[in-house]
Amino acid sequence: MSPTGAPECMKAMNERKRYIILSLVLICLLSTAISAQNSAATLEQVQHHYQAAQEFERSGKLAEAETEWRRALALAPQDARGWTNLGVVLNRQGKTEEAIAAWRQAIAHDGTLEGAHFNLGIALVKEGDFGAPIPSLRYVLSKDPTNDLARRALAVALIGVERFQDASREIAQLLLRSPREPALLEMAAQNFMRQQRFSEAATVLERRLELPAAENKWLVLYGDALDGTGRTEEAAKVYRQALDKEPKSTIIRYGLGYLYWKLYRYDEAEAELKQVLAEDPTDARAAFTLGDLYLTQSKAREALPYLELAARRYHNEFDTRFALGRALLSTGERERGITELRTAVQINDGIADGHFQLGRALMQAGQSEEGKAHLARAQELHEKKRTLEAERYRKRGP
């Protein structure tokens, strides 16, 4: 090719390049136009499914509504509101697990949707999953502190994970707005009892019992709260009232007998506990309390059958084995008594009286080496207890 032909050749090449570039631009523009048309068509289809789903929901056709929401989400799988609505329809059909999964999908796509968090939190609490819903319910309340249903669910969840103090704060806020609502007062009372805040529980239960339709169980719980604050005489009167309302309840009757036992009203305690055992001879709690009552009165022979019954039921508890051991020793059954006391101190090595009674019995049986070891252990535990009490007294101050 001659030098004079070079410009024509270059011109042709440039034209060809320009044609290729223009072609690519046109293809791009056409593709964009087609994509826009498809997006518009897709949006129109999604809207159609939305409208159809909502219409089915209004007419109560939940299965058909579910189908439409699923069709919409097949076209727009990242639509958080669509997932939220699908979850609602699934939940209304009793498909709880699928509903929970749908709301989790909604939150994964848009973590700001209050509806998805609220629905998820309520559903999880109803299912007994108490730890998982706490963040969602707290998020809802951060956006709307007046959402009492979310706060109730949060309180239940916190109780479920044994965060009782946190639950108390939520219940307190609810009671500020509804101070006479029975369900809230009942929840507050139970929560205080779990924290052994007996005085506060008693106050709340007093308010509950002033309202109509208070079940007998709240009167019984009130008695327990009073006893917890040291007001045992009042607690016994409350239990008496509860028993008058439900005279066939061996549980309430046992509670009354136990309170009489604590008050050293032994004749009344004996009468109530015997009545419990007459109605249910296998009631091991009543048998233990009655046996211990007789043992306290130095009636070991009367105590023995009741304590044996209790020990069969509560064979891994220090109190039953220890009391049975003492009763056996008092009735002359030294070998069996020592065996029971040995078992008691194995169950709980930290009770001084267990080691003391065992050590003394062993010394009397001529087993002095082992006996001295247990007596020494009893002395050690006594000294430790006295030191701790003295330290607490110093910290309390004058």
Average pLDDT over residues 267-279: 98
11: Cβ contacts below 8 Å, ≥ 6 apart: none
Distance, CA of 69 to CA of 87 (rounded, Å) = 10
Task: Give residue-wise pLDDT tens across range 78-134.
Answer: 999 999 999 999 999 999 999 999 999 999 999 999 999 999 999 999 999 999 999
pTM attached to this predicted model: 0.79
pLDDT value at position 397?
A: 55
Distance, CA of 303 to CA of 290 (rounded, Å) = 7
Q: Tokens 């001295």 label which residue?
A: 372
Percent of the chain residues past pLDDT 70, beyond the cut: 88
Least confident of 34-43, 154-163, 174-183: 34-43
160: Cβ contacts below 8 Å, ≥ 6 apart: 125, 128, 130, 131
The token pair at 150 is 């979310």
Average pLDDT over residues 290-298: 97
Residue 278 has pLDDT above 90, yes or no: yes
pLDDT value at position 367?
A: 96
Q: Tokens 């208070």 label which residue?
A: 214
pLDDT value at position 3?
A: 38
Using an 8 Å Cβ cutoff, are 232 and 262 in contact? yes
CA distances from 36 to 27, 29, 33, 78 (A): 14, 10, 5, 19
Distance, CA of 309 to CA of 164 (rounded, Å) = 37
Task: Give residue-wise pLDDT tens across range 171-230.
Answer: 999 999 999 999 999 999 999 999 999 999 999 999 999 999 999 999 999 999 999 999
